[in-house]
Each structure stands twice: as structure tokens, then as C-alpha cells.
């Protein structure tokens, strides 16, 4: 099994300088290739990656755009692997923690977030070492939302920290400060209106400090969200043999300007992504429920559909049995029963692929999962990482 471990680096000043130049080189090469690709497409040609690579190799040491102020090819000072953002062999680098898993290192790459550098190592780990044990074999339904990030079929509601919302005022203040510094630099250079493409403004220390302050705030927002997401997804996979979750149209939700910020702040797509890859380590099945399945409108007790339920109604009473439902809890219970078949002898699950059906409700569940495709939209009455402790600083050769 291929696993990745992201470790914070503590490079020397020379190492930081090299990483920055390598990252800048990769960015510039990518932008050149993108512009060349688009130019060829505009001319009606059919570009390909191999032809672009050959063309770049012909010009990188001779074209004036790729020479320094002394007329020398500055690409010679950067390892050739940096063009692919692949970590070259640069000697010893100080790490914040040890590599978690033994196994064959398949690759590594370096990235920067704010003023910190990180190493992502891909390791091929033996199956028996990569697998984790579950604490129980429950089947649970999960309803994702904005008010509560996840509502479980057990009735528990897990509220997301919403770090972007909490830091939005500081983010706006720091962004405005940085924007004013940029406008001042443009005026000092005699530039009015849009800045011409390729123009490089002089960088002041205040502008560098402002950019770093803004980047650190963005990094903190991302860290808080990632911490919540990892803890939630690890818990769901560790405590359940099957997790039923709605197949949300996240891209469509992000197109709604009234919901986009709140949806992105919770991170629906990342929750689904992490559940998918963690389930293979815990032997948990992730069952995506049919996107148009009316989980909120169906009474989880008698199965009658409330066709008049609106999005604003968070609590509703079933007209048939009189049970009062919390909208999100009711949806999560309906998701759970898609897997257990508790409401009817014939539910949505038997219509799914054979890879999904066997062993969903009990017993050993394979890691793979498939989409639940219901026979109808109604059932019942048819009326309507955590991170490990940081170890001591260790040195490793790459």
C-alpha cells in the first residue's frame, strides 16, 4: 500500500535559498510551457508534452529570456529534477519528526506553506503494517451540512470550527494593507492602471512582511480545517464497518454564491476524499447514497414522504405518524437504513453493484465501495491524524 507522510523541514539558510530558487524555476517553466501550449492551440496546431520538452531543452541555455544579467544560463545552478518539482539529492536536511512507516521510498517532493517548507514522502508499506484495527463494527449514516458539519444517525451533531469565518475580519484587514502597499509600489514605479504583463515591481521589506503575515493567516486557517477533518474522518472509519454518506454535488454548491463560502469553509469534498483513502486502511466500506435520494423528506419511522418540506424548515412533524423530526438527524437515519435495510425488505442497497451488496450490514466488510442506486426515491409507504508526537530533530539523507 502506498502511503504519504508530510514532514516539516528545518533547512539551513542555504537550503531555504535553494528551495526558493527551485520552486521559482518550476513555476516559471510551467508558465512558459502553458503559454507555449496555448499559443500553438491558437494557431490550430496540436501540441504535445514531448515536443514542448524538446523545444525547452533547445532554448533553456541560449535564449536571452533564460540568461542572467551576466549572460549566463541561470538554470545551470538548479538541479534538473527541480523542473518537475521532484526533490533532488541536496545532502542532509533537518526534519521535525521521523518517517512514520518502514518501507521503500517511492518518491518525495518539497512544498512551501507561508514561511515553512514541507517534505512529502511516498512510501510503499507492507499491507500488514498499513492496516489499522477498528474499535467497533457499527453501520452509520452521515449527513453533511453547514450548520453542523456532520450529523450522525446516532443523533450526534459535530460542529465544524469554520476557521475562515472566524478569521475573516483579520483576513480582510491584512489583505487591504497588502493591497495598499502594492498600489504604493506601482505609483513609485510610475505605473497607472493595470500593470503590464511581465513587469516586476521593486519589493520593499514592508511589502514582504505584509505578504508573510497574510500567508501565515491563510496557513493557520488551513491547519485548523485540516485538523478537524482528519479527526472526524479517522473517527468515522475507526468506529464503523460501513459509513453511508450522500454523494453531494460540491461543485454545484460552490457555484451558489450564497452557500459557496460556508461550504468551502467546512470542506465537504475533503471529508469525502479522506474517507475514501482512510477506509482502505481500516477495512471500512464507504457507501455513497444516491444524490437525488430524498433523505430529509422521508419519515425515518413510517417512510411517508413530506413533499412540501423546504430548506428553511429544520424541524418537521410527520403527518402520518405524528413523529417530530430534526431534519438532519432524520436524513442521517435514512442513510443508515439504506445500508441495514431496517425499513423494508427491499431497499436501495440490493440494487447496487455486487461489490457493494455483500456484507454491508454485518460481518467483514471489504474496503471497496460503490454507489447506492435506489429502485425508487421513496421507501415504506409509496406516497409521495492525528499527528503523532513530534520526535527529536533528526537528520535524514535524501
- At 156, is the pLDDT very low, low, confident or very high (cuts 50, 70, 90)? very high
**Sign of the dihedral defined by the CA atoms of residues 226, 229, 234, 237, in that order:** negative
Burial 163-178 (b: 16+ CB within 10 A, else e): bbeebeeeeeebeeeb
| pLDDT computed for residue 381 by the predictor | 37
Residue 168 has pLDDT above 80, yes or no: yes
List the grid coordinates of 31.
Answer: 508558465
- At 83, is the pLDDT very low, low, confident or very high (cuts 50, 70, 90)? low
Longest dimension (CA), the chain: 84
- At 341, is the pLDDT very low, low, confident or very high (cuts 50, 70, 90)? low
Query: 228 Cβ partners below 8 Å, 6+ apart?
Result: 149, 160, 161
Question: Of the ranges 35-49, 83-97, 184-198, 218-232, which is most confident?
Answer: 218-232
β-sheet bridge partners, residue 118: 8, 111
Query: 182 Cβ partners below 8 Å, 6+ apart?
Result: 201, 207
Q: Write the pLDDT tens digit of every residue in 6-21.
A: 999 998 888 888 888 8
Q: How far apart are CA 237 and CA 136, in angstroms?
A: 10
Residue 374 has pLDDT above 60, yes or no: no
Q: Of 14, 69, 143, 378, which one is the catalytic site residue?
A: 143
Q: How far apart are CA 19 and CA 72, in angstroms?
A: 21
Segment 145-174 shows an average pLDDT of: 93
With contact defined as beta carbons under 8 Å apart, do 331 and 151 qualify? Answer: yes
Active site residue 124: no
- At 166, is the pLDDT very low, low, confident or very high (cuts 50, 70, 90)? very high
Q: Of 69, 227, 328, 383, which one is the catalytic site residue?
A: 328
| pLDDT computed for residue 339 by the predictor | 79
Residue 48 has pLDDT above 60, yes or no: yes
The pLDDT > 90 percentage for the chain reads 37
Residue 377 has pLDDT above 70, yes or no: no
Q: Which residue has cell 517511492?
A: 106
Q: Of 115, 127, 246, 351, which one is the catalytic site residue?
A: 246
Question: Domain-by-domain residue ranges, the chain?
Answer: 2-130, 138-351
Residue 357 has pLDDT above 80, yes or no: no
- At 88, is the pLDDT very low, low, confident or very high (cuts 50, 70, 90)? low
What is the residue-wise DSSP string for 173-204?
HHHHHHHHHHHHHHHHTT--SSPPTT--PPPP
Bridge-based pairing of strands 138-144 and 240-246 is parallel
Across the beta sheet with 285-289, the strand order is: 157-158, 150-152, 138-144, 240-246, 285-289
Q: How far apart are CA 381 and CA 378, in angstroms?
A: 8
Q: Write the pLDDT tens digit of every residue in 265-320.
A: 999 999 999 999 999 999 999 888 888 888 888 898 888 888 888 888 889 899 88
| pLDDT computed for residue 81 by the predictor | 66
Q: Write the pLDDT tens digit of every residue in 197-249.
A: 778 888 889 999 999 999 999 999 999 999 999 999 999 999 999 999 988 88
Task: Please state, rounded to an integer, the average pLDDT across all residues of the chain.
Answer: 81
Q: How far apart are CA 161 and CA 372, in angstroms?
A: 30
Bridge-based pairing of strands 240-246 and 285-289 is parallel
Query: 384 Cβ partners below 8 Å, 6+ apart?
Result: 297, 304, 305, 306, 307, 378
Residue 387 has pLDDT above 70, yes or no: no
Active site residue 115: no
Local structure of residue 209 (DSSP, 8 states) = H
With contact defined as beta carbons under 8 Å apart, do 360 and 339 qualify? Answer: yes
With contact defined as beta carbons under 8 Å apart, do 348 and 290 qualify? Answer: yes
Residue 109 has pLDDT above 50, yes or no: yes
Active site residue 246: yes
Q: How far apart are CA 114 and CA 117, in angstroms?
A: 8
More confident residue, 365 or 330: 330
Amino acid at each position: 500500500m502506498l502511503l504519504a507522510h508530510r514532514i516539516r523541514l528545518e533547512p539551513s539558510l542555504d537550503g531555504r535559498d535553494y528551495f526558493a530558487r527551485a520552486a521559482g524555476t518550476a513555476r516559471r517553466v510551467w508558465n512558459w510551457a502553458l503559454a507555449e501550449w496555448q499559443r500553438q492551440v491558437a494557431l490550430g496546431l496540436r501540441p504535445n508534452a514531448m515536443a514542448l520538452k524538446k523545444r525547452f531543452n533547445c532554448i533553456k541555455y541560449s535564449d536571452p529570456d533564460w540568461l542572467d544579467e551576466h549572460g549566463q544560463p541561470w538554470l545551470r545552478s538548479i538541479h534538473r529534477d527541480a523542473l518537475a518539482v521532484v526533490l533532488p539529492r541536496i545532502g542532509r536536511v533537518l526534519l521535525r519528526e521521523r518517517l512514520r512507516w518502514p518501507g521503500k521510498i517511492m518518491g518525495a517532493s518539497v512544498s512551501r506553506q507561508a514561511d515553512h517548507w514541507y517534505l512529502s514522502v511516498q512510501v510503499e508499506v507492507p499491507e500488514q503494517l498499513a492496516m489499522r484495527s477498528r474499535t467497533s463494527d457499527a453501520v452509520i449514516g452521515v449527513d453533511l451540512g453547514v450548520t453542523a458539519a456532520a450529523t450522525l444517525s446516532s443523533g450526534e451533531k459535530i460542529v465544524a470550527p469554520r476557521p475562515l469565518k472566524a478569521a475573516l475580519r483579520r483576513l480582510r484587514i491584512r489583505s487591504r494593507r497588502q493591497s495598499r502597499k502594492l498600489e504604493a509600489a506601482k505609483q513609485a514605479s510610475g505605473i497607472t492602471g493595470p500593470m503590464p504583463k511581465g513587469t516586476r515591481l521593486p519589493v520593499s521589506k514592508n511589502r514582504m512582511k505584509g505578504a508573510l503575515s497574510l500567508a501565515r493567516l491563510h496557513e493557520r486557517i488551513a491547519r485548523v480545517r485540516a485538523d478537524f477533518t482528519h479527526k472526524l474522518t479517522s473517527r468515522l472509519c475507526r468506529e464503523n464497518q460501513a459509513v453511508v454518506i450522500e454523494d453531494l454535488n460540491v461543485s454545484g454548491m460552490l457555484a451558489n454564491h450564497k452557500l459557496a463560502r460556508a461550504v468551502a469553509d467546512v470542506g465537504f469534498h475533503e471529508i469525502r476524499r479522506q474517507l475514501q483513502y482512510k477506509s482502505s486502511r481500516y477495512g471500512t466500506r464507504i457507501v455513497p447514497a444516491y444524490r437525488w435520494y430524498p433523505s430529509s423528506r422521508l419519515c425515518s419511522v413510517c417512510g411517508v414522504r413530506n413533499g412540501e418540506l423546504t430548506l428553511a424548515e429544520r424541524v418537521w412533524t410527520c403527518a402520518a405518524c405524528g413523529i417530530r423530526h430534526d431534519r438532519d438527524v432524520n436524513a442521517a437515519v435514512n442513510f443508515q437504513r439504506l445500508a441495514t435495510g431496517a425499513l423494508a425488505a427491499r431497499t436501495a442497497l440490493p440494487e447496487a453493484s455486487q461489490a457493494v451488496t455483500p456484507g454491508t450490514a454485518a460481518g467483514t466488510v471489504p474496503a471497496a465501495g460503490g454507489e447506492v442506486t435506489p429502485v425508487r426515491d421513496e421507501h415504506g409507504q409509496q406516497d409521495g491524524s492525528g499527528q503523532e508526537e513530534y520526535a527529536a530533530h533528526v537528520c535524514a539523507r535524501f
